[in-house]
Structure 1
Amino acid sequence: MPNPPGLDLFRLREYLDTHRPGLVRGELTGEVIAGGRSNLTYDVTDGHGRWVVRRPPLGHVLPTAHDMGREYRVSTALADTPVPVPPTVVLCEDTDVIGAPFYVMEYVAGTPYRDAAELAALGPDRTRAIAFCLIDTLVDLHAVDPTAVGLADFGRPQGFLERQVRRWNKQLAASRSRDLPGADELHDRLATALPTSPDPAIVHGDYRLDNVLVGPDQRITAVLDWEMSTLGDPLTDLALIVAYTNRQLPPGIVASTSGDAPGYPGVDELVARYAQRSGRDVSNLDWYVGLAYFKLAVILEGIHYRYTQGQTVGENFDRIGEAVPPLIASGLEHVSG
């Protein structure tokens, strides 16, 4: 079987045989897991065991993005907490092996629900249960003591929001290849109205329904895609859920239509559940939602740029660019001038 794009299975087998002897018992086969828009994810098996491999995209890697060591560290640290994560296997930061850093984790069964149609097939009661479990798992994550799990130095909470606004503006500049009306105004509004953060927590950074796996009992079996995790303001994670629930984008571009499924709770219900279970004040959430839209716009603009450079793997990348202007507009709606 040929190698999937970006993953030399023979070199991977050699590395695993050296660093995890006895793990692999036969020839490896693998394929790209559909749905990813940033780091590449592969389903790999030897016919006996099954693993998932993560590596950065094939080109135009933005500074500080796609950090394999960061993903591996936080997933390993959360192994004995109430937050479900795939067991990690090995991290390789030697780019000579497959051409980029990568890590391997155990395969975890579950379904990543990406749109309203997939949820509708479950019925309204199951859909509602999944949405509330998404919120409850986020509360569990934000309740983890970073020091207790060895993540006391995982980020710099002081000045987190200011750095977030600056960072995403810088990343936009690195990928900007066209005029984006309103983008600069949204940045300026965010920068001049920074709220006061609550106590810091472990922040996922891209928390949404299709970044978790759901089992047949409507419980989350694993939280995935920790590439943007850090210590910071927990309300940024909640705001992303609001942004994905609020904004309808063209199907197949991003997981943004789940909130339209019968039984899916409205934004007010989701926010109220988080507030009640976490005890946090969410009165300034609109600003965070504006930041969430800005962040999503920057991420998708980066993917659009990679598509224009021929550096992407997967379907629907030709439509990514059209999702950016509505995200900017939504951000402006939430952050007053």
Structure 2
Amino acid sequence: MVSESPPGITLPVLEQFLRSAAPGLLSGPLKAGLLSGGRSNLTYLLTDGRRRWVLRRPPLGHVLATAHDMDREYRVLAALHPTDVPVPRPLVSAGPDVLGAPFYVMEFADGLVLREPAQLAEFATRSKDLAVELADVLARLHSLDPAAVGLGDLGRPAGYLMRQLRRWDKQLAASRTRDLPELVRLGERLGRAVPGGQSPAIVHGDYRLDNVVVSPDTGRVTGVLDWEMATLGDPLTDLASMVMWWDGMSRLDSPVAAVPGETPGFAGSELLIDRYAESGRDLTELSWYLGFACYKIAVIFEGIHFRAGQGLTVGAGFDRLGALVPALAERGHAALAAR
């Protein structure tokens, strides 16, 4: 933790804003540091020496439309905090007039974000319980009535899958600086075989183990993070994302986070799928959703590759993500072939 302003934050300006917007929040001088993780949005740890909070803002430089929506994330946290879906309590938010980009501040969720191989190894003997917990939290999210929690207008569920495909097609076009014929072809194949879809639910948009905080004592999820892509849509997109990040990234040498499925003794993603299936959702077309998850992750990585080429990423390893894009396209084709 440092007292100097990290990239993306002007600390004296932020401290003045917090003292005005949340009187009594700070009991000492504000300090801030960039947290590890967060492949796109920037996440900072704030402290006054006694308490801790987290600030989220979009990335520096090239920002794709709708991909880094702080207002949406803040609204979702406020709606979900009173429910049985564990999320940090949001405190204050602001537009770009304070720090040059929209941001919000939330409470710090105590626990671990399992990103490192050593962390995962410590959970190996409890990996089955961890998988069940992760799937159960997702099922609880998808069981909520959006209107009942004030999120009935968060999105338009009708045509969700086709809109998602168009969205990621456009974001690929906006970020691509090289020929990626197999990734383009994957998008085309997905478009020709879109499933009928599930009954709509609140969709996280990037649900995976390293986007939750886990208690080291109980193994329970104490907070689900990174809600900027939340909407109303097809819940199986979240299931496929969870599966891909659990073991679908195996042997890709991702620099972002350790892969649970590569950890000796860890349960495979079949347990995640089987546990989630107990919620009553029809998983017949899951292979399509896995193909779509590969496509979406590949497009996100290509966007980060674009920003890395401009020197606009903050954090280690982002310059290596572009090398994973072709392999993700190949895995997406393989998933579709399994239908």
TM category (shorter chain) comes to over 0.9
Report the Cα distance in structure 2 between the residues aligned to 1:41 and 1:157, rounded to whole angstroms: 29
Q: How does 1:54-133 map to 2 (within 5 A)?
A: 54-93=56-95, 95-124=96-125, 126-133=126-133
Deviation larger for 257-266 or 136-145? 257-266
C-alpha distance after superposition, 1:142-165 (max 9, x if no partner): 011100100000000000000011
- Quote the offset at 1:52 in angstroms: 0.3
Aligned partner letter, 1:17 = R
Are 1:180 and 2:180 matched, yes or no? yes
Report the Cα distance in structure 2 between the residues aligned to 1:253 and 1:181, rounded to whole angstroms: 24
**TM-score normalised by L of structure 1:** 0.96
C-alpha distance after superposition, 1:204-262 (max 9, x if no partner): 00000000000021000100000111000000000112222222244452335111223
Contact 1:172 1:298 in 2 (8 A): yes
Report the Cα distance in structure 2 between the residues aligned to 1:180 and 1:131, rounded to whole angstroms: 34
Contact 2:301 2:321 in 1 (8 A): yes
Q: State the SS of the aligned residue for 2:98.
A: coil
Hey, what does 2:270 align to over in structure 1? 268
Q: How does 1:1-337 map to 2 (within 5 A)?
A: 1-93=3-95, 95-124=96-125, 126-216=126-216, 217-244=218-245, 245-255=247-257, 257-276=259-278, 278-336=279-337
Deviation larger for 28-37 or 237-246? 237-246
Report the Cα distance in structure 2 between the residues aligned to 1:174 and 1:70, rounded to whole angstroms: 22
Report the Cα distance in structure 1 between the residues aligned to 2:50 and 2:233, rounded to whole angstroms: 40
Cα root mean square deviation, aligned: 1.4
- Quote the offset at 1:129 in angstroms: 1.3
CA gap 1:113/1:20 in 2 versus in 1, 3 angstroms: same
Report the Cα distance in structure 2 between the residues aligned to 1:287 and 1:200, rounded to whole angstroms: 17
Q: State the SS of the aligned residue for 1:335.
A: helix
Contact 2:254 2:321 in 1 (8 A): no
Structure 2 unmatched runs, 5+: none
Report the Cα distance in structure 2 between the residues aligned to 1:114 and 1:249, rounded to whole angstroms: 16
Q: State the SS of the aligned residue for 2:99.
A: coil
Contact 1:203 1:229 in 2 (8 A): yes
Report the Cα distance in structure 2 between the residues aligned to 1:17 and 1:29, rounded to whole angstroms: 13
Structure 1 unmatched runs, 5+: none
Q: State the SS of the aligned residue for 1:185.
A: helix
CA gap 1:123/1:264 in 2 versus in 1, 3 angstroms: closer
Report the Cα distance in structure 2 between the residues aligned to 1:335 and 1:44, rounded to whole angstroms: 44
Report the Cα distance in structure 1 between the residues aligned to 2:20 and 2:117, rounded to whole angstroms: 44
- Quote the offset at 1:304 in angstroms: 0.7
Aligned partner letter, 2:303 = G
Alignment coverage as a number of residue pairs: 334
